Structure 1
């Protein structure tokens, strides 16, 4: 077959699958939102499985069914052509060649870019049974308790008791000796174009970048930290919004800054979440404040396979940092934090230990709510860093 014919066939196949997938995802989602499946347990269970399957198949993130089935060669070839990331993981599981393909890597990067905006949480209750903690033992040392009370998990990844060991995570030293003579905290934004309900077009100070500058200002003036705020734009290509390689671009900029300023110990990628029809708000010092959420990048698929293209030596450090901040917020600013969200990719969290991806509010939050949340977050961050 001629190369042009193969390209045309691949494009048409991809377009058809994308269209079918969109129709299925929207149909299932709309039906679920309208309560079609709520009254019948069987239909409800089917709906949950359909939602997970459609998310894993048509949204470009890594998700795999628990049972593997044999596929004809022609289907494997088509799968590899349209979704090369599937082919890559399949070959890893089969112990095949570890040769890296530029196409596979690019697909993984694109999947990572879309994953943060297309989160699909799974129920953790069914995976970790509720058990009573032995008398005298810290409940945070109990894996089921910790997972179900402080974490949410995307359908694309998984975690186990070894990786989520509360005793180990809470025993790790996350403190930092304050030294205002050199940069120690870096704040940046992989998605600089994220705005809020009352953002003013053309006014950067009313976007997530402006919120990041406010956080940097609080940390400098109120807590005495030396903070670098990187306000570069990584999600515009030729003036058009394009986030496919945003994490690649922002990661390169962060790596350069870390090389220039090796004293940096804390790296924060500040985002605004996007959840249809949902506004996460709490109260801090008598004022409305947007709720925050940490995203932890596991570099791991739903069937427990590490994503070799996305190594992250600091998964434990980042989990410990996020958990300790979560618990400090529970004491200092109750209601500020949503559960820590576990995802399959790494989101540049491999560049330094104590790296955070923070989702602040949603598109329905106001700029004032975002800034109030930064005041609370700065207080919690200082509490953990100073022990």
Structure 2
């Protein structure tokens, strides 16, 4: 009780004395950056190199890696060059056809539920992540046919065929990037409250790198794809946020899944990535996974081909809770 009172006094002091001083010292853009840093410790705000030439730009997240120190953050750019693009009205008919090829009639209200008591949730915090064959070219758009949601749909089907009940969410959570994890957290909370049978949550992404030349794209593609059973497939890896209270269990599972994948399909999986300041909603389910399949140099097809192997690996690893 005494500790709680002391904490409350400290918070009150912060609100009354410190925040007004900070607000007076900063302009609107600086306040925005301050709030992002304070609210999302797993996010690092980075200045866009053309920032001085731009005004009134939205905060947008990107997965570009800049230095060794930056690898522990999810990067946030102030600028619109990586903002997810919306399809205009002229392409609405095409988009509907694309969706119909990927998201069958079982999807209702952005959800597909393959059994009455599903055990796995698949969702996408960065739903707009697209692959190299997307016509939008900026790797973040509502081009659903070439997105992580298309790959998630394939993974949900592969797991269902192995006897799992799966909830797959196709809701866009990153049209406002700094709110993406808060938005996807609502999905996880809603699904878990409705289906207590769900024991595994998978936040499915694709990795992102800064690739500015055709040669860089080719080198990245060659590095992050491999051949399995005569087909070129994208590599995958797991990410663990170090700020989760259950980080020990999360890392143990990630390492064991990685070891199993390497044993079954050598070269298909990359080492586990740990993010010092991340949580990524992994604490919410008993088994919270963040999986990256492919990157912005690999194709949608190559990433979809990976799903059958990821499903096989997860099915074997979690067989005791099936």
2:254 pairs with one of 310, 322, 325: 322
Task: Tell me what 1:247 maps to.
Answer: 181
* Shift of residue 355, structure 1, vs aligned partner: 0.8
Give the 3-state SS of the residue equivalent to 2:193 in structure 1. helix
- 1:333 and 2:265 correspond: yes
Task: Tell me what 2:284 maps to.
Answer: 351
| Distance of aligned partners of 1:356 and 1:180 in 2 relative to their CA distance in 1, 3 Å threshold | same
The one-character-per-residue Cα deviations of 1:51-84 (angstroms, maximum 9, x if unpaired) are xxxxxxxxxxxxxxxxxxxxxxxxxxxxxx7975
1:283 pairs with one of 205, 215, 227: 227
Asked if the contact 2:36–2:178 (Cα under 8 Å) also holds between the matched residues in 1, the reply is no
Segments of 5+ residues of structure 2 without an aligned counterpart are 1-18, 46-58, 74-113, 137-141, 212-219
Asked if the contact 1:109–1:245 (Cα under 8 Å) also holds between the matched residues in 2, the reply is no
Cα distance in 2, alignment partners of residues 117 and 337 from structure 1: 19
* Shift of residue 118, structure 1, vs aligned partner: 4.4
Task: Tell me what 1:117 maps to.
Answer: 63
Report which stretch shifted further, 358-367 or 113-122.
113-122
| Distance of aligned partners of 1:5 and 1:357 in 2 relative to their CA distance in 1, 3 Å threshold | closer
Cα distance in 2, alignment partners of residues 342 and 120 from structure 1: 16
* Shift of residue 205, structure 1, vs aligned partner: 2.9
Higher strand proportion = 2
| Distance of aligned partners of 1:119 and 1:263 in 2 relative to their CA distance in 1, 3 Å threshold | farther
Give the 3-state SS of the residue equivalent to 2:41 in structure 1. helix
| Distance of aligned partners of 1:116 and 1:262 in 2 relative to their CA distance in 1, 3 Å threshold | farther
- 1:11 and 2:22 correspond: no
Q: TM-score, normalised by structure 2?
A: 0.64
Q: TM-score, normalised by structure 1?
A: 0.54
- 1:271 and 2:205 correspond: yes
* Shift of residue 199, structure 1, vs aligned partner: 2.6
Cα distance in 2, alignment partners of residues 205 and 115 from structure 1: 21
- 1:224 and 2:224 correspond: no
Asked if the contact 2:61–2:178 (Cα under 8 Å) also holds between the matched residues in 1, the reply is no
Cα distance in 1, alignment partners of residues 179 and 317 from structure 2: 33
* Shift of residue 323, structure 1, vs aligned partner: 1.0
Q: How many aligned positions are there?
A: 234
* Shift of residue 328, structure 1, vs aligned partner: 0.5
Task: Tell me what 1:293 maps to.
Answer: 237
Cα distance in 2, alignment partners of residues 374 and 360 from structure 1: 8
Asked if the contact 1:271–1:359 (Cα under 8 Å) also holds between the matched residues in 2, the reply is yes
Asked if the contact 2:130–2:143 (Cα under 8 Å) also holds between the matched residues in 1, the reply is no
Give the 3-state SS of the residue equivalent to 1:111 in structure 2. strand
| Distance of aligned partners of 1:323 and 1:120 in 2 relative to their CA distance in 1, 3 Å threshold | farther
Cα distance in 2, alignment partners of residues 103 and 187 from structure 1: 26
Task: Tell me what 2:83 maps to.
Answer: none
Q: CA RMSD in A?
A: 3.4
Give the 3-state SS of the residue equivalent to 1:358 in structure 2. strand
Asked if the contact 1:196–1:367 (Cα under 8 Å) also holds between the matched residues in 2, the reply is yes
